[in-house]
Amino acid sequence: MSTSIMSNVEALSTAPFDARFPNQNQTRNCWQNFVDFYRCRKVKGDDYEPCNYFKKVYQSLCPNSWVEKWQEQIEEGKFAGKI
């Protein structure tokens, strides 16, 4: 493999196991990490690096269409979760 492909493969990862969500259905895990990311950013600020953990997990678990929809709802003030 070429060097650029190998560097991309090494950067790929999936969400680690979370004992709060032991079942195959990871919808709640997706939702919780999305909400946790925005809560963390609200409390700690946009530059706080540990918040990115939640972002990486929800990006790994959540369909892009859900994330886009939730982000639009946040911007419009119609998001169902408490952030």
CB atoms near residue 64 (< 10 Å) = 8
Burial of 47 per CB tally in 10 Å (0-12, 13-18, 19+): exposed
pLDDT tens column, 60-77? 999 999 999 999 999 999
Per-residue pLDDT of the chain (83 residues; tens, 9 = 90+): 555 655 555 566 788 888 888 888 899 999 999 999 999 999 999 999 999 999 999 999 999 999 999 999 999 999 999 98
| Max intra-chain CA distance, the chain | 47
Q: 17: which DSSP letter?
A: P
Q: What is the C-alpha to C-alpha distance for residues 62 and 26, in angstroms, rounded to an integer?
A: 9
